[in-house]
Amino acid sequence: MIRRSNRTSFTLLLVCFIVLQSPSLAQDRRSGLIARGSVWETQYYVTDSKRPGPAVMIVAGVHGDEPAGARAAEQIRHWTITRGKLIVVPQANRPALQNRTRRMPTLPKDRSDLNRNFPKANGETPKCMLSTALWALVSSHCPDWLLDLHEGSDFTQLNNKSVGSSVIAAQSTEVKKQACRMLEALNETIEEPDKKFVLKSPPASGSLARAAAERLGIKSVILETTMKDQPLSLRARQHRIMVHRFLTDLRMVSGDVDVLVGPSDSDKMIHVALYDAGGVGRKGPTELEKDLGELTDVVVRRVGSPEIRSGVLKQFDVLIIPGGSGSKQARALGTDGCRGIVKFVENGGGYVGFCAGSYLASNNYTWSLKIIDAKVIDRRHWKRGKGRVKIELTAEGRRLLGNEPGLIDIRYANGPLLAPAQDPNIPDFKALALYRTEIAKNGALEGVMKDTPAIVAGRFGQGRVLCSSPHPEYTDGLESFVHRAVRWAAGR
């Protein structure tokens, strides 16, 4: 039994012990800017565990047409570090990332490739303002390790002109050994032998990794994923897998590989998981990101089937499933992925489906999620055509999506025709918009589509489900429909 006079001292000791034992409480997180005040200004983040250990720097976005590294680095910077220090520069070359170009805009060709702008010999200086600023950041922190996240255009085993799907290590036994550990972790997730990652060496002359190794003695590695025919979420996850194995080997990381968002501002922000993998059309995720990027209180992270199967949706408020093929989406997600989505919504998560995402949510396919009391009618003529149609909001639609009177022009592309499924276990949906014109091609009968629900909303368990048969995300002027759909699904 503790005496009253000693309780205060005991409490202070207990608090200190908890802080020391809890990495998340002990960490010091701060950020700064390099190239401040210039067009090249970009942010870096430092997580200091306040415990002795290695210093690791992660740089991404050096080439603006290689987005996966920047996505992964933005996620990794939120990880909990158990010892040492982590410095992350998620978007090293912001102007190029914004322009989606490899080279730095406005600079002459001999200086426009940022990853050839670093010192090649002792006494040399970087070639431009941004490389000078990055070099100063590396030199000031002088980390033990530097990881530079990149992407190649093709699989290097299938096309030796590309370095995609490789780890490029500086020439030292220790660095190559650690690179092989990262390769092993990632290759366990890749089935096709020709698409497995391989070890290469050394990094290109003039690259940040080569200069850091040879000029500053920093152990350096370049991680190269492959853009060809692979969704962005998969490539970002491959970067995370390699970095997670690396930090795990250094005993620096706490948490799993699919931590995508940070705990800060969780009450203020709406966290949106955007599915971009199997069964999704190429343009949908990009258009949705563009629309949601206009909102300052929304954080969007692309996710694929592995993340959903691993339970990543617990970090999010809303899941968006874009257009494409509902059956292919269900196949890619697999039984566990589909079950994970159903559980997410049942427990209070929001679901927004566009076109194929509405097919997936519906009630009457063997593969559908059955999270809204809506069945697809005239299934035989699902491929009824693409083009512009007119819809009209209902009174409930004007309340939820905005007071848009009259007929609204919108893009349509083989979206589902919906009707009540009359499932006694699911509350009835409310029609938010009705089709007032139709498309009837490829044998579809005229008169079937007109006046059927175009956009519907309903409840499932504790969650909310909104399904749009047409495409507001592809229709200029209807961005607010996407905004309001996400806010409603999130309960905001």
| pLDDT value for 467 | 98
CB-based contact 469:418 (threshold 8 Å): yes
Mapped onto helix, strand or coil, the DSSP state of residue 182 is: helix
Query: How far is the C-alpha of 275 from the C-alpha of 44, rounded, in Å?
Result: 28
Query: 322 φ, ψ to 5°?
Result: -80, -175
Residue-wise pLDDT tens digits, 385-434: 999 999 999 999 999 999 999 999 999 999 999 999 999 999 999 999 99
Residue-wise pLDDT tens digits, 460-484: 999 999 999 999 999 999 999 999 9
Residue-wise pLDDT tens digits, 127-170: 999 999 999 999 999 999 999 999 999 999 999 999 999 999 99
Q: Which long-range contacts (CB under 8 A, 24 or more apart) does 308-311 make?
A: 308/273, 308/275, 308/333, 308/337, 308/340, 308/341, 309/333, 309/334, 309/336, 309/337, 309/340, 310/256, 310/258, 311/258, 311/340
| pLDDT value for 171 | 85
Residue 44 falls in which region: left (phi positive, over 0), alpha (psi -120 to 50) or beta: beta
* pLDDT at residue 267 tops 90: no
* pLDDT at residue 20 tops 60: no
Nearest to 371 by CA among 407, 330, 414: 330
Instruction: Report the pLDDT averaged over residues 226-235.
Output: 97
Instruction: Report the pLDDT averaged over residues 252-272.
Output: 85
Instruction: Report the pLDDT averaged over residues 317-340.
Output: 98
User: Would you kindly state where each structural domain of the chain is located, as residue ranges?
Assistant: 23-254, 270-489
CB-based contact 189:241 (threshold 8 Å): yes
Which CATH number fits the domain 23-254, given the four candidates 3.10.580.10, 3.40.630.10, 3.30.470.30, 3.90.850.10? 3.40.630.10
Query: How far is the C-alpha of 467 from the C-alpha of 457, rounded, in Å?
Result: 6
270-489: CATH superfamily = Class I glutamine amidotransferase (GATase) domain (3.40.50.880)
| pLDDT value for 41 | 98
Instruction: Report the pLDDT averaged over residues 105-131.
Output: 95
Q: Which long-range contacts (CB under 8 A, 24 or more apart) does 248-252 make?
A: 249/178, 249/181, 250/53, 250/54, 250/56, 250/84, 250/145, 251/53, 251/82, 251/83, 252/49, 252/53, 252/54, 252/56, 252/81, 252/82, 252/83, 252/84, 252/86
* pLDDT at residue 331 tops 60: yes
Residue-wise pLDDT tens digits, 361-384: 999 999 999 999 999 999 999 999
pLDDT classification of 492: cutoffs 50, 70, 90? confident
- Strands, DSSP E only, in 400-490? 407-413, 417-420, 430-435, 453-460, 463-468
Element (H, E) at 344: helix 326-346
Instruction: Report the pLDDT averaged over residues 63-76.
Output: 98
Query: How far is the C-alpha of 418 from the C-alpha of 364, rounded, in Å?
Result: 11
Instruction: Report the pLDDT averaged over residues 239-262.
Output: 95
For the CA atoms of the chain, what is the radius of gyration? Answer: 25
Start-to-end C-alpha separation, the chain: 49
| pLDDT value for 265 | 52
* pLDDT at residue 11 tops 50: no
Percent of the chain exceeding pLDDT 70 equals 94
